[in-house]
Amino acid sequence: MNQKWTRAICTVLTSALVFTGPAVEGTTFSGYINSGLEKVYAKTQKQKDAEKKKSQAEQDLKDKKNEINGLKDQQQTTADDIKNKSAKLDEILAAQKKLQTDITSKQAEIEQNQKDLAAAQEKQQEQYAAMKKRIQFMYENSAEDNIWTAIIESNGITDMLNRIEYVSDVYDSDRALMDSYQAAVEQVKEIGTKLDNDMNELTAMQDDYEKQQSDVEAAIVALENQKEQYASQIAQAQQQADNYQNIITAQGKIIQEQEAAAAAAAAAAATRANSSSGSSSYDGGGAGKGGSIASDYASGGGKNPSASTGVSGSSVVSYAMQFVGNPYVWAGNSLTNGVDCSGFVHEVYEHFGISTPRYSQAFKSVGQAVSFDNIQPGDVVVYPGHVAIYAGGGVIVEAQSTKAGITANRSVQCHTILAIRRLV
């Protein structure tokens, strides 16, 4: 390793230690060596604490979402039970309505039977009274002499037999009539007994339906109360989930700020190292006057879209910074062995599962537009003939040129800014 690289590394180490200061006491350093350049990245205690809190909040949020999903499943099951119970109640009410019709009809039959019985009994009594009068008449006029007189005075044997038979027929006829009326009365009574039994069965069914109705209505009330309890539990759990999400957002912001500050310090250290080694000026890596910004992206434009993925811009920057010092190769696709400017941005974002074009100027139409005053680490910056990733602290990380390789030391306004796009 020549003296020029030795001075550069010493400058990077000194700058990193000065930046982290007392806050990194006890902090371990992770690094790598690529093409003779040693990269130093240190996490502050504040970032460590934020990452720990964020990780815990993410686990708590996951658990709480599972709890909410479980409560929602139980709530849905309860709602289904209510629906089924309501359908059962409708069936009971419909059956009760039909039963009431049957009871009304049966009551009408019973009333008619009672009228028929009364009429039959009245007819029986009338016939009984008439028969008694005939019997009394015949008894009072049944002296032997009268019978002999009837025989003697008869006009022959035929007349005589007819007179004797008439008396017998009167008795037989009355008996037959009485038997028929008695049978009619008994038949009406039997019908009445059957109707009474039918009515008893119907009223028993009515009592059973009323009990079923009462039980189902009580079950529905209990299920409705249970459903309300689930709703209350879900609301409470959702509030806790929102609190966890707020913690994740807040700690993520702290992590982003810490990573951006570290990236800026590393970039500044690299700039000083390059200056001391006589390599602060590079060819290539864009064109256009520095400090100029396209009107659509100038400060005050108000463009500051919210995150559209679960990837943080600071994570993108941290990953990209690992390859600082690696070579620039036109049309290359390897972050380690060589890549050009658009390939660098493409490969970095592909690591996070985000699809991007392979031509620098095509980046002007991907993602969402961002005003310069709202630029954040991870945003893509497009220049004439060049594209880079904003690293925070006013600098970019980029595959700059064949001579410079992958760097993180140039100002974001090193050339005319044509577009700033947010992909995460």
Contact 171, 107 (CB under 8 A): no
Identify the pLDDT of residue 337: 96
Helix crossing, 3-20 with 157-276: angle to 10°? 130
Q: How far is residue 245's CA from residue 161's CA, in Å, rounded to a whole number?
A: 123
Q: How far is residue 144's CA from residue 387's CA, in Å, rounded to a whole number?
A: 151
Q: Which residue shows structure tokens 């209505």? A: 217
For the question of whether the overall pTM of this predicted structure is more than 0.75, the answer is: no
Q: Burial, 116: exposed, middle or buried (Cβ in 10 Å; 0-12, 13-18, 19+)? A: middle
Q: How far is residue 197's CA from residue 373's CA, in Å, rounded to a whole number?
A: 93
CATH topology of domain 63-239: Helix Hairpins (1.10.287)
Identify the pLDDT of residue 214: 94
Identity at 190, one-letter amino acid code: E
Identify the pLDDT of residue 25: 31
Identify the pLDDT of residue 20: 38
Our separate counts of H helices and E strands in the chain read 6, 10
Q: Which CATH architecture has domain 313-422?
A: Alpha-Beta Complex (3.90)
Identify the pLDDT of residue 84: 95
- Sequential pLDDT tens for the chain (424 residues): 444 334 444 444 444 433 333 333 333 333 333 333 333 345 788 888 988 999 999 999 999 999 999 999 999 999 999 999 999 999 999 999 998 999 999 899 888 988 888 888 887 787 777 777 766 666 566 544 455 555 556 666 566 566 556 656 666 776 777 778 778 888 888 888 988 998 899 999 999 989 999 999 999 999 999 999 999 999 999 999 999 999 999 998 888 777 667 666 665 565 555 555 444 344 456 655 666 888 888 876 789 999 888 899 999 999 999 999 999 999 899 999 999 999 999 999 999 999 999 889 999 999 999 999 999 999 999 999 999 999 999 999 999 999 999 999 999 999 999 999 999 9
Identity at 341, one-letter amino acid code: C
CA angle 403, 404, 410 (to 5 degrees): 145
Q: How far is residue 138's CA from residue 403's CA, in Å, rounded to a whole number?
A: 155
Q: Where are the domains of the chain?
A: 63-239, 313-422
Identify the pLDDT of residue 146: 52
